[in-house]
Chains A and B, each alone.
Chain A
């Protein structure tokens, strides 16, 4: 299996990946508290972008409502913890099941009725929006007032209940992100990955070749939703507060997909690179604003918008594909 994972990947790419991993493992010792919180944000977007990429980048189904899966999972795990004392390591499985079920329902309705392209994207927005308003009135989790987890002391690390210091959260998230990277590589190099690429490029030709298009689209949605559920659970336990207004919002869905789009839709390393680039840009912009003593709401997002515009106009495949070519890393990452 390992042979399959590294087949066709140049040695220098493996070395660079190894170096990156070592750097990320050592990072908490080198950066301060603030730097660590930024790195957690980077990994959060890298992982969630990777999960979205399974659906859009691999199988070609544009979802603009991934905040639905983040939110459902976050609320599930948080409610189980607060109401029944069920810890996150058990709750995460229930959250994954619920997110996958939601994805499968949307996928079933869309793919059965032949809803594709723009209509599918709008359907995903519609479901996320529907759920947002629903949670605003869902009193069991305190509706629009927000749902809060008890905040723990940072001096004790209780990994079993995901209560502890940012460093603990950082390493857990790093492990998840690294595993997701390997998992996606495994998916892409297997039969299912080739089926997805065929469906993405030419659904009708794929059908003609005997690929069960419906089934493999459903699998893509289920895997993507299930992976996204993990970031929801992480979000709930790291930030300790959930508001339907924020977690289910369309803005959040767009924020989640900016990374993979800027990095490179469909590539494996694109979402990770995109998350780094976007977060770094935002931080630099923040620093510049602070240095100039100039605070204006909205300017950060205007800047994001301009970056996004520049990328889609001049680098339609994202930053990573031209970069990997320049670095001579082959086409497979």
Chain B
């Protein structure tokens, strides 16, 4: 197999992986603070994807533009979900939380199925087939753009958590729930805000994803699993970990598709997950709890 083919596929995989990473970042932020695993994460991404598809179909808006209002929309959805559904469940056992979000996920997948039907849809922008030549490599232009945007959004998020007062308050809630309550932080509101921010990430990722893959309602559960795999590999709650995990999974999938069968690619991701859980359960960049 020619080396430049392998290298091309590897670079494409890494670029796609950064968008996966952005999606998983949302999950990681939510878990890191609220300590609830968002079992409806991939489903929320599919909602964003369909919003981008509708915006493109109806008004011809490029998903790279519509991703901003879509992120806002998903922020509102996430905020509402946390405020209405999840806040009463914060102190419930884990399996109750799981079931709550699994129920939300089932409603979302099948709601989309009722509205849009089972057929695969995509967005065909006029630069969809353009590629960029880097030495001997031919890289898809959309992958470069989406990966760069994913990095920009992730950087903004890091800055928000490190620099802004609200970001610091959210980190305080994550570090010490009781302490945050004692110093007078409105923890419930901050949780809702965090869920909103995580959802906005997945909203942006979902809009971009329409340029990379075909969307059907059923990709939702698959991406939920994908996001879990990524954040556990990277370390639940670790923001750089989510990006690293995304890149690793993107690369693994691309290589598995090249050397084995594309349909077997999820198996390799899950195999890495199992190895990580066994030998470094806190994830590559996670902290020991």
Contacts and interface: CB of A to CB of B under 8 A. Distances in A.
Interface string B19-40: 0000000000000000001000
A215 interface: no
Given A125-B228, A144-B263, A305-B110, 18 more contacts: A114-B281, A118-B94, A122-B232, A122-B273, A129-B270, A136-B263, A137-B264, A254-B102, A298-B110, A298-B112, A299-B110, A299-B114, A301-B110, A306-B103, A308-B102, A309-B85, A312-B99, A312-B103
Interface residues of B, number: 42
Interface string B101-143: 0111111011111100110000000000000000000000000
Interface of B: 37, 85, 88, 92, 94-96, 98-100, 102-107, 109-114, 117-118, 217, 221, 225, 228-229, 232, 261, 263-264, 266-267, 270-271, 273-274, 277-278, 281
A129 B222 CA distance: 10
A251 B228 CA distance: 16
Nearest to B116: A298
A125 B264 CA distance: 17
Contacts of B221: 250-251
A133 B260 CA distance: 13
Contacts, number: 117
Nearest to A123: B277
A130 to B, nearest CB: 4
Contact of A130 (B37, B92, B270, B281): B270
Nearest to B280: A113
A119 interface: yes
A133 B118 contact: no
Interface residues of A, number: 44
B145 to A, nearest CB: 31
Interface of A: 56, 62, 64, 109-110, 113-115, 117-119, 121-123, 125-127, 129-130, 133-134, 136-137, 144, 250-251, 254, 261, 265, 296-302, 304-306, 308-309, 312-313, 316
Contacts of B98: 62, 64, 118, 121
